[in-house]
Amino acid sequence: MGLRKKVNLIIYRFRERGLEVFLVNKPDEWDFPTGEVHVNPAQDLIQLEPGKGSEEAVAVEGDWHEIPSLKEMLFEEGSEIAEKIRGLETGTFVTIKDALKSHLPEPQVKFLRELRDVITDRNSVRDL
């Protein structure tokens, strides 16, 4: 049985331009999808170190065709889930380099840098 916790959900993928992350376009800013995520130990989630104020984030590899199943990871109450889904519709994948330049709040920048480091380490070990 998994646990539920409110976190930032970082969806990432690899393309020709390199590592890309999914950002949601909110009024006057870009942000990660957030919500109460059902954490299933069998899923391949990258648990990132908590940020300031105990803000948490998990990262999962995904692509456009997987967004519907990733939406199911977000558990919210009725009207809030409708808003989250509409929010995901306004999102897009951007390179991690562009995401770091997009004036995200400090905790999100920290999460992206940590994700980049974790993925770099995993790929280095895989290439040995």
Q: Report domain extents, the chain.
A: 3-126
Q: What is the pLDDT of residues 49-99, one digit of tens each?
A: 887 667 888 888 887 666 656 656 555 544 454 555 555 667 789 999 999
CATH 3.90.79.10 fits 3-126, yes or no: yes
Global confidence as pTM: 0.72
In the predicted model, is pLDDT for residue 1 greater than 50? no
Contact 105, 118 (CB under 8 A): no
Q: What's the alpha-carbon Rg for the chain, to the nearest Å?
A: 14
For 62, 68, 87, 126, the CA distances from 92, given in Å and listed in that order, are: 12, 14, 11, 29
Strands 57-61 and 3-15: parallel
Residue scoring higher pLDDT (34 or 52): 34
Contacts for 79-88: CB closer than 8 Å, 24+ residues apart? 84/33, 84/35, 87/24, 87/26, 87/33, 88/24, 88/33
pLDDT in tens, 87-127: 566 778 999 999 998 878 888 899 999 999 999 888 765 55
**Rounded to whole angstroms, how far apart are CA atoms 20 and 125?**
21
Predicted pLDDT at 79: 47
Q: What is the model's pLDDT at position 111?
A: 93
